[in-house]
Amino acid sequence: MTQTTTRTIKGETVPVLGLGTFGLTGPEGENAIRSAIDLGYRQIDTAIRYGNETEVGRAIRASGLPRSELFVTCKIWFDDLAPDMVARRTGESLDRLGFDFVDLLLIHWPSSDTPMGETLAAFAEERAKGRTRLIGVSNFTCALLDEALDVHKADLFCNQVEYHPFLSQAKVLAKMRRWGMLLNAYQPIARGKVFDSEVLNAIGRQYAKSPAQVALRWLIQQENVGAIPRSSRPENLRANIDVFDFELTPAEMAAVHGLASGRRFSDFDWAPAWDEPMPSHEGGRP
Ligand SMILES: NC(=O)c1ccc[n+]([C@@H]2O[C@H](COP(=O)([O-])OP(=O)(O)OC[C@H]3O[C@@H](n4cnc5c(N)ncnc54)[C@H](OP(=O)(O)O)[C@@H]3O)[C@@H](O)[C@H]2O)c1
């Protein structure tokens, strides 16, 4: 198999592994983001809600890399999805980042207050203005994707959802593959809980890899899937992208799929009605 660190989605090249930045704030956070870039991360995931866009922008500039080498994602919170707020929040984000554009602008969570069509039109407007190259969503279920894609004909690059060995995303992934979208997996190492899994430890021992590395490998070995692990420590940042020199067998992939138990770490009262976890070992392969 050809090892690759990028994926082509809708003709765009995106690094399969990115840096999650929730909690990476202040000088320490900025240092961690800078370390990650030095170690080779080229996709950075931020959000207005994380309060660290200034740090992300500064870390990228301090790296000395051209802006074009980084893939930067930002997200707008669900209570700011009215069209005038989308425009205002996007401008404020770009000011904090210190950039003219982001690569990907996401609806952070669906809103039950603002009609989806209005928000998607406002996002498309930001793309037309060149303030984002691509648009997408986060925490969208199959029903919400149907509305966005079938009813509103949105051209979505990505749906960022919680995805790790303890939570199946087979249904939503199958739909996204049909539309050629990227599923970017957040909380890909289940906030560190992967270390408690004997299955992941046993597989890791075969390759001298940690359970976190096995979980990340399992994710990026699936078509249309990327992942954005977060770490504040250089040793963990380094380990999390050291996953391109081994390959899980079909039996090992199936064993990791078999760990899905519907366990979620991001479930809030504003969350949509989630799709039922489906105990498929195929991840909804088309
Ligand atoms: N769209 C959304 O609604 C949404 C929701 C949640 C998260 N996200 C995004 O997804 C990113 C990742 O999620 P997350 O940060 O909650 O969870 P995560 O990446 O699954 O786990 C992060 C935790 O694992 C530890 N860790 C990381 N690498 C490790 C390693 N190699 N060995 C041991 N421990 C390790 C980190 O601690 P150390 O810092 O000590 O390494 C941290 O406590 C976020 O930062 C954010 O960008 C998006």
Tell me: the pLDDT tens digits for 131-165? 999 999 999 999 999 999 999 999 999 999 999 99
pLDDT exceeds cutoff 70 at 280: no
What digits encode the pLDDT tens for the residues 41-89? Answer: 999 999 999 999 999 999 999 999 999 999 999 999 999 999 999 999 9
Catalytic residues: 50
Q: Rounded to an integer, what distance in angstroms lies between the CA atom of residue 86 and that of residue 111?
A: 13
Q: Rounded to an integer, what distance in angstroms lies between the CA atom of residue 267 and that of residue 19?
A: 22
| Mean pLDDT across 254-260 | 98
| Mean pLDDT across 234-240 | 97
pLDDT exceeds cutoff 90 at 259: yes
Q: How far from 165 is each of 42, 170, 189, 193, 277, CA to CA, in Å?
A: 24, 12, 8, 10, 12
| C-alpha 245 to ligand 1 mean position (Å) | 22
Which amino acid residue places its CA nearest to atom 17 of ligand 1? Answer: 187
Closest ligand 1 atom to residue 240 Cα is 31
| C-alpha 151 to ligand 1 mean position (Å) | 34
Confidence label for 277 from pLDDT (cuts 50, 70 and 90): low
Q: Which pLDDT value is given to residue 21?
A: 98
| C-alpha 189 to ligand 1 mean position (Å) | 7
Q: Which of 115, 86, 98, 105 is nearest to 62 (CA)?
A: 98
Helix (H, G, I), strand (E, B) or coil at 223: coil
| Mean pLDDT across 258-269 | 96
Helix (H, G, I), strand (E, B) or coil at 167: strand
Element spanning 111, H or E? none
Q: What is the largest CA-CA distance in the chain?
A: 54
Looking from the CA of 167 toward its CB, the CA atoms found within 13 Å total 22
- Mean pLDDT for all residues in the chain: 95
Q: Rounded to an integer, what distance in angstroms lies between the CA atom of residue 123 and that of residue 55?
A: 24
Q: Which residues line ligand 1 (CB under 6 A)?
A: 20-22, 45, 108, 138-139, 160, 186-192, 212, 228-233, 236, 239-240, 266
| Mean pLDDT across 232-239 | 97
Q: Rounded to an integer, what distance in angstroms lies between the CA atom of residue 197 and that of residue 175?
A: 29
Best substitution site from 183, 230, 264 to test ligand 1's pocket, by max atoms within 8 Å of Cβ?
Answer: 230
Extract the runs of DSSP E, i.e. beta strands, from the chain.
6-9, 12-15, 19-20, 43-45, 71-76, 102-107, 132-138, 158-162, 182-186, 225-227
Q: Which of 59, 162, 163 is nearest to 108 (CA)?
A: 162
Q: Rounded to an integer, what distance in angstroms lies between the CA atom of residue 86 and that of residue 92?
A: 10
